[in-house]
Copies of this chain bind each other. A is one copy, B any other.
Amino acid sequence: MKKCIFTLCLFLLPLWGGRVGLLYSIEKVESPSLNLTAYFDVQEGRPVYWLLHKGDTVIRPSHLGLTIRGEKGRTDFNDFGTKERPTEEVNGLLSGFVMTGSERFIHDSWWEPVWGEERRIHDSYHEMLITLTQPAKERYIQIQFRLYDDGLGFRYIFPQQKNLNYFVIEEEQTEFAMPGDITAYWIPGDYDTQEYEYTRSKLSEIRAIQENTNKANLSTTTFSTSGVQTPVLFKTNNGLWMNIHEAALVNYSCMHLNLEDNHVFTSHLTPDIDGTKGHIQTSATSPWRVIMVGETAKDILASRIVLNLNEPCKIEDTSWIKPMKYVGVWWEMIAGMRDWSYTWDFPSIHIGVTDYSKAKPHGRHGATTENVKRYIDFAAKYGFDGVLVEGWNIGWEDWFGNEKDFVYDFVTPYPDFDVEGIHDYAKSKGVKMIMHHETSGAIRNYERWLDTAYQFMRKYEYPAVKSGYVGNILPIGEHHYSQFMNNHYQYCLEKAAKYHLMVNAHEAVRPTGLCRTWPNLIGNESAQGTEYQAFGGSVPNHTTMLPFTRLIGGPMDYTPGIFENDIHKLNPNSHSWCNTTLCNQLSLYVTLYSPLQMAADLPENYERFRDAFQFIVDVPVEWDTVYYLEAEPYEYVTIARKQKDKNAWFIGSTNGYDPRTAMIDLSFLPAGQKYTATIYADAKDAHYRNNPQAYTITTKTVTSKSKLRLFTAAGGGCAIKIVPKQ
């Protein structure tokens, strides 16, 4: 489907001889429906692009390029009979360019994801491929622009050539010059964590807000008070919505944005251990830099540009990749009711040496055979696919904070966790066990054990693993989002694919649509998840931000479903409070798309609210399509989805701070038929803090002409199941 339609000017420098005075015009490319136009120019030797939406500037002229280690200042020409040429100012791959090629391609196709929000995805763009030559260095690079109706993607291409084989990035200097002092929805730039709450502010306020707010903890590594992470959402002063992110982050450093003067963001890569920003061997490409543009916030949700910019699926047989709804031995530990660890007998643990068989259990261990069987029973009773168990393997007594290398072996269970028995029991009940690999950031150790650990999973038929990277990375000095680490996550993912295992990596780099290429990447954390509700509580509107930001790159294992707000009831030492209503929790199963959805609360809390729990029992994890009904980031979001292969629709409306009435237009339903809607709604007096468990469950007959008006409380929401009327 890829076709070169015309070539504007493809000049090859004649034997690199002499100073080349190329004539060129400003290059431009338009999106298929012509709503977006991207321009490219070389100005004073530097590449520049800008982006317009229906004539309005959304990205002002912005430089492109990279600085390279050891390549700064004036460059002598190579001695290829060109001695007469003077030295020339060339700074890495930042300047000294002339345009020597400009090609156009059109692409239009549909593809089917292994799992996703929709069964088919439309991939339609116009491409502009610019070739840029540095005569002084006798080398060239390319910049590939793909303009979709929902945004612009571009990336650097570094072709293999005599004078460009290996280089070390000092910094990528891609600019995103914003159209004025617009509104941003952002979290601070950080090399090691995305576990922040979002701030809505003007660009001009970002620095002061960060300077006056200290969110630093052991996990954070900020680099600038004007740094933000991607995906970052914007609303322009003309009412347009934008989101800047990256796609297909492979063998490259994770990009942050740093706000400079004049409302210009520049890319800021996560450093490797030596402070450099990435080692490149040509042929290579950067990830795609993506600027999503929409007239409504719903357009941002509907955009598939990040997936489209990723490579097609590289796994041939994907039959083993199956979305899962699961419960697990997890919230008990997060809430501080139980422990991951088993004993207090040892000052520290030496895996393979410490003898647990003689240790006295402290009695707080969560992952006991008995407790796990309780969850298996619960899962089987309510049709959950899987049971996650954390703290099953030895080493949790001193897993964190010691820069400890050999912290786990990933295969040795605690004495009270019967791997074989649990496997047999789960299997007899038709439930899959979900593996847990906390690495504690000790990368070398994890990679050393990886085959053994994955083989163990195969042996005991665990289809998926939740992996974790809590704490400082070993080798010391590496950051969670560096090229080195991104290569590690990719290594695990590809190896897992060989073993037919699904991966849900927590504390790893945030996703960039790689689940298209590697659909066994079934989930990621990479944002503030539900656990924070037990760590002091999240802000009530946190989940109204996630679909517009974090989820742009791929699904999140947010682990919703907390019915008991008062953590004190689970753990007398805790005074944490889950800042949502119960219906808000229900809504998240629809508004936060994920092929992996947990019901995170304790079985007894679900049994207490058995009627409301029915929505979690009913809600699927596989879908035919999606309808974005309402969207106001920071405030609320309402989404409807059609269950895969079934005539069943599920709606979630997630609300923020202010009580409101959701307007739910059911026109997406096939016309000419009656349906039964089961509506889980906040009671009128519900409130995330004072009355979170006040809800109503009502049944109503609806058609495609129905418009539901549903109250959603502060920190509230509603959830609806619709099926054809019997």
Q: Which residues of B contact A283 (CB under 8 A)?
A: 350
A126-168 toward B: CB 8 Å interface, digit per residue (1/0)? 0000000000000000000000000000000000111001101
Name the residue on B nearest A404 (C-beta): B281
Assembled-state Cα–Cα distance A521/B476 (Å): 29
Contact call B477/A398, Cβ cutoff below 8 A: no
Residue with the greatest number of chain B CB neighbours at <10 A, chosen from A161, A272, A273: A273
Q: Which residues of B contact A168 (CB under 8 A)?
A: 403
Closest chain-B Cβ to A278's Cβ sits at a distance in Å of: 11
Contact call B165/A282, Cβ cutoff below 8 A: no
Closest chain-B Cβ to A481's Cβ sits at a distance in Å of: 16
Residue with the greatest number of chain B CB neighbours at <10 A, chosen from A161, A162, A447, A477: A477
From 272 to 293 in chain A, residues with beta carbon under 8 angstroms from any chain B beta carbon are: 272-274, 276, 279, 281-283
Q: Residue A311 at the B interface, CB < 8 A?
A: no
A443-465 toward B: CB 8 Å interface, digit per residue (1/0)? 01001100100000000000000
Contact call A404/B166, Cβ cutoff below 8 A: yes
Name the residue on B nearest A476 (C-beta): B274
A244-282 toward B: CB 8 Å interface, digit per residue (1/0)? 000000000000000000000000000011101001011
Q: Residue A238 at the B interface, CB < 8 A?
A: no
A383-426 toward B: CB 8 Å interface, digit per residue (1/0)? 00000000000000010001111000000000000000000000
Closest chain-B Cβ to A700's Cβ sits at a distance in Å of: 58
Q: Residue A491 at the B interface, CB < 8 A?
A: yes
A496-535 toward B: CB 8 Å interface, digit per residue (1/0)? 0000000000000000000000000000000000000000
Q: Which residues of B contact A405 (CB under 8 A)?
A: 279, 487
Q: Residue A21 at the B interface, CB < 8 A?
A: no
Q: Residue A347 at the B interface, CB < 8 A?
A: yes
Name the residue on B nearest A451 (C-beta): B451
Q: Residue A478 at the B interface, CB < 8 A?
A: yes
Q: How large is the interface on A (under 10, 10 to 19, 20 to 34, 35 or more residues)?
A: 20 to 34
Closest chain-B Cβ to A685's Cβ sits at a distance in Å of: 50
Closest chain-B Cβ to A359's Cβ sits at a distance in Å of: 14
With contact pairs A447-B447, A447-B448 given, residues A282 and B348 touching in the complex (Cβ less than 8 Å): yes
Q: Residue A484 at the B interface, CB < 8 A?
A: yes
Q: Residue A475 at the B interface, CB < 8 A?
A: yes
Contact call A281/B350, Cβ cutoff below 8 A: yes
Q: Which residues of B contact A162 (CB under 8 A)?
A: 347
Q: Which residues of B contact A444 (CB under 8 A)?
A: 444, 447
Contact call A273/B350, Cβ cutoff below 8 A: no
Assembled-state Cα–Cα distance A160/B478 (Å): 29
Q: Which residues of B contact A350 (CB under 8 A)?
A: 281, 283
Closest chain-B Cβ to A107's Cβ sits at a distance in Å of: 24
Assembled-state Cα–Cα distance A282/B350 (Å): 9
Name the residue on B nearest A483 (C-beta): B405
Contact call B274/A477, Cβ cutoff below 8 A: yes
Closest chain-B Cβ to A494's Cβ sits at a distance in Å of: 11
With contact pairs A404-B166, A447-B447 given, residues A347 and B282 touching in the complex (Cβ less than 8 Å): yes
Assembled-state Cα–Cα distance A721/B162 (Å): 57
Contact call B273/A475, Cβ cutoff below 8 A: yes
A158-201 toward B: CB 8 Å interface, digit per residue (1/0)? 00111001101000000000000000000000000000000000
Contact call B477/A273, Cβ cutoff below 8 A: yes
Closest chain-B Cβ to A567's Cβ sits at a distance in Å of: 30
Contact call A348/B475, Cβ cutoff below 8 A: no
A605-621 toward B: CB 8 Å interface, digit per residue (1/0)? 00000000000000000
CB pairs A–B below 8 angstroms (10 shown):
A160-B347, A161-B347, A166-B348, A166-B403, A273-B477, A279-B405, A283-B350, A444-B447, A451-B451, A475-B478
Q: Assuming A161-B347, A444-B447, A447-B447, what are 7 further A-B pairs, CB within 8 angstroms?
A: A273-B477, A274-B477, A279-B403, A281-B350, A405-B487, A447-B448, A475-B484
